[in-house]
Structure formats: C-alpha cells, structure tokens
Amino acid sequence: MDRPITTLFMLMSVDGKISTGATDDLDVDKDFPQIAGISEGLHQYYEIEQTTDLWTINSGRVQAKIGANTREMPNKTPVSFVVIDNKHLNENGIRYFCALSKNFVLITSNEKHPAYNIEESNFHIIYQKELSLNDALIKLKSEYGCERITVQTGGTLNGLFLREKLFDYVDIVVAPVLIGGKDTSTLIDGESLLSQSELSKLGVLKLQECVVLENSYLRLRYEVIH
C-alpha cells in the first residue's frame, strides 16, 4: 500500500453525534464531563486514545474549537500530528502543535496561512491547491515515514475519507447518550448519495470486536471490507 493504514477513532453518542450541538460553543470534550451518567465513564475513551497510532490526523476547526489557539505551550509527546486547516489555526495554534508533536505536518490550500511565518525543525507544510486526502496520505508515508495513522477529523472530512475509500479500520467508543438535532455533526457528514449507482461509495464493515465498557459505554472495532 502506498499510503498509511488508517483507523477512524472517534467518540460518539448512540445516535451517531460527535458534538453536543450545532455551534462551536458546544463540544463533547467540554460538555460530557459536566453531565451525570456520561462523565463517569468518559475516562475510558481517553485511556483508549492513548493506545492509538503514533500518527494522528485532525481538522483545524476542531482543534481551534477545543482551544489550541489560546493554550500555553505543552510538553513534547511521541505522537506526530497532522492538521488539515485553511483558516482556523493562528500562529499560537501552530506553535502549540510544534511543541506538542514529534513531527507536525499542516495540510493547507491557503497560500497566506499564518503557518508560513513559523520555522521549526519538526514543522512541515503540505500545500495543495485543492485538497486531495489520498495524495496527502501518500506523501505522509513516502516523505515522513508514516505507516499507520489515526483519523480524528470532523464529520465533513470524515465523509471525504469515506467517499474516497481511505478508511481501513473503524474504532468507535459509544457514549450512553442521545443528542439529536439534524444540524449537529455526526460521525460521517458531507454530501449524501443521490442514486443507487453510488452505492459503491458506502463503507461496508466487518465487526472485529464489541467490548462492553464500564458505565454503559461500548467499544466497537471494525475492519472496512469495501
């Protein structure tokens, strides 16, 4: 395979939501710890997250939403971060990821992104006039040695990964909550299929493991078979 092996790893509600609402003020990382019946078992998701791949790919919007643009500089970790972003991360957000990451790779279509003002030995930019996830993944493997990567982007980018057949595995932690709302982001968003001729774009899964966690949480692990 000329690209890394990918695993979609996410926390979602029973009805498939990955946020608590339709605005950036609402977020599971901020809101779930405050809700009785959800908060008690939430630590299990973060514990599992610590066992995922040493490369992870995120969206700039999600990272800005959870405060990367205003955080103090963190300690270095062994994880290499890839962020897809055109306008959400500022210079502080970029420096935050440089400090956090073994390697930090920004994928952008914005020639004027503030990241171009920053020079760090572990920081790399993949510029694409138009986003191509497949091309970016190929470059991550060929130029930076990424063999496996965990995908933790938002619903729209997850939808692009799905339609381009770029998921190999799916690893989902299901929180015991129903959220609802047609405008609330789900595990997979993006454009809907419009005809039966497009059914090949579905992601068909084979269950590898179903684990009943504590406090009514579940972990579902699948292989994407086509």
The alpha helices in 58-172, defined as continuous H runs, are 60-65, 91-100, 133-144, 155-163
CB distance 108 to 82 below 8 Å: no
pLDDT in tens, 61-94: 999 999 999 999 999 999 999 999 999 999 999 9
Regions of the chain with pLDDT less than 50: none
pTM above 0.85, yes or no: yes
Q: What is the pLDDT of residue 76?
A: 97
What is the C-alpha to C-alpha distance for residues 92 and 115, in angstroms, rounded to an integer? 9
Tally of CA atoms within 13 A in the half-sphere of 36 that contains its CB: 0
CA distance 175 to 48: 14
What pLDDT, on a 0 to 100 scale, did the predictor assign at position 212? 98
Q: Is 149 helix (H, G, I), strand (E, B) or coil?
A: strand
Distance CA 75, CA 99 (A): 7
